[in-house]
Structure 1
Amino acid sequence: MQRTQTAVSMLPYLSFCEVGKKYGTFTAVDNVSIDIAQGEFVALLGPSGCGKTTLLRSVAGLVAPTSGDILLCGKSLLAVPVESRDIGMVFQSYALFPHMTVAENVAFGLQMRRLPKADIAGRVAEALALVRMDPFGERFPGQLSGGQQQRVALARALVTRPRVLLLDEPLAALDAKLREAMQFELRQLQQQLGITTVFVTHDQQEALAMADRVAVMNAGRVEQFDTPRVMYDEPATPFVAEFIGQMNQWQARLVERGRDGARLACATGEIEVCKVHADVPVGGGVAVMVRPEKMEVRAQNGQAATGNAVCGHLKGVMFSGEKTFCYVETPLGLMTTVMQNRVTGADLGLASGDDVVVTWRPEDTVAFPSA
């Protein structure tokens, strides 16, 4: 089972080809096409009801697509029985058998494949050691913590040496600190084994931290499929921009489009941006978005705002340990800025009621056509 992943091949290994799923008149998955490389860790991210779990379960054979195809190594999975798909899956509830010991739970899939007892014992021991649960083989699930149960479920999925590992929000039941620790452990294990993994989550930070690429889903469709960094800094749609992290947002109008950027007119004057969607004509309306950590706030000191800046009134300052949040009322609406206390220190020299200026850079500004 020990194999090291040094690089992810970008050739398609698991492919969704125009996959659709309907339940009566309701469309759960709508014409999804994405390619996943061998050894890649992909997150399906989106709000409840967006189709991510339906898409995941269709790979396992637990859901039959209404249309399209799913290919593994270039061959369709649709006619392959569930038990023959060579897929490992970890459910949100872990789905461990309470009347079986840890070792018996892990061995179950191998027993169904009728492997020799000696082989089963060796592979169970190997799988439990891999997830650091080898001292707990004789315990029952009810005697384990949530994190330990998660490890056992993972060992049970890996012991059959599947070609693809499916994870359906397996960390959702854990507390915040344990969840963060398990994110790191799970990602390290996936890289160590080099196993192609598809992970369903509704937690944006979890997806960004763990995945090689993220598919953001909305109403059954994939709105963007990209690396976490590109998706965060260059969202393809307003939905992605707002769903991934936070955004300050206001309305403006396109004044001029140039080679290196564009000028927009808003309620407080003109601002510069580096990119405006190609569909926006000069004079057309745009929704302007800037992330809170891309903005800076300082005392106004009687100075007028120039460039990408807006004057405002500081409504509140919230210290949260590693970060400080400032909430500023401006003519463009309420704006939030976030600063790392490692850089700024906890004392910003600002207090509620102060007149302040909020500034940001053109390259940190995203502009989409107004809805």
Structure 2
Amino acid sequence: MSASTRPDGGFFGSSPFQGQFPQTRLRRNRQSTWSRALTQEKHLHVSNLIWPVFVIDGANHEEEVASMPGVFRRTIDRLLPALQEAETLGIPAVAIFPVTESRLKDPEGTEAINPENLVCRTVRAIKEAGLSLGVICDVALDPYTSHGHDGILRNGVIVNDETVARLCQQAVVQAQAGCDVIAPSDMMDGRIGAIRNALDEAQFQHVQLLSYAAKYASAFYGPFRDAVGSASQLGQGDKKTYQMNPANTDEAIREVAMDLAEGADMIMVKPGMPYLDIVHRVKATFGVPTFAYQVSGEYSMIAGAAEKGWVNRELVMLESLLAFRRAGADGILTYFAVEAARRLKNIQ
């Protein structure tokens, strides 16, 4: 058996023509800065970053999320200057997440379809400020329900079709406010096709659909639920009847295939780093724009460890984001977006 072949007769590596040591020394390409740059396979650019932001009601106020060091909830007037910096840095898009006051929440999430809700007012303010950022709006009911679930609850069960009807209304309201990308994260069956039809009937054919097609029932969402105030409502409940089982990969491919058939323009995998195998498989299978969400728990692990001095925040941040690109992600939703963009601008 040749040194370059496996016991099954195949070749190690991608080519049967790779040499062997000592004729081939792979360290030669790593020995200098210029050579490492020249042979780097994947690159992280500011254009790959999407910034998720939290908006609260009121004026001239911001507050740090305790479980997400360095991440803030901001009123619209405080958010706009932050978004102006993001635009200047070259970040292409922002994702809006509202912190809804408890008095506005009810079991059916009716505030989601209010044209004057916090998300719609934020979107209009961004557009009126003349910012060229793409605006992504989450479509799900959990910021608006008193029970913290993504859908309408009937006798302890999240009802699919009634929820989809409400999500269609929510999507149209957001599009009317000026949202560029509708991003359903609810994981109800059939919602992509229904929302696409609703948008088209309302003459919003140009509005894009970013489907959270492979969203898992993950323990990594905890700090996000703290940030938007849905953790206390959810209590001891879980979302396993509609979000995916973390053990499943084939199911993710089925979900993506269905959402693409229903009209999704882009696909999201959430969470990110623990599911890079899913990102890679989705990209390799479908070859469509594929995004990943570096979720709150991933951010908080890095930020918390950095605060303790256990890891280098900047280096781990950039390495983690590059890992998304290596797996095949075209876009990365990350709370590090502005920080990473500043660093990337410094080294470009």
The two structures have a TM-score, normalised by structure 1, of: 0.27
Tell which structure's C-alpha radius of gyration is larger: 1
Q: TM-score, normalised by structure 2?
A: 0.29
More strand by share: 1
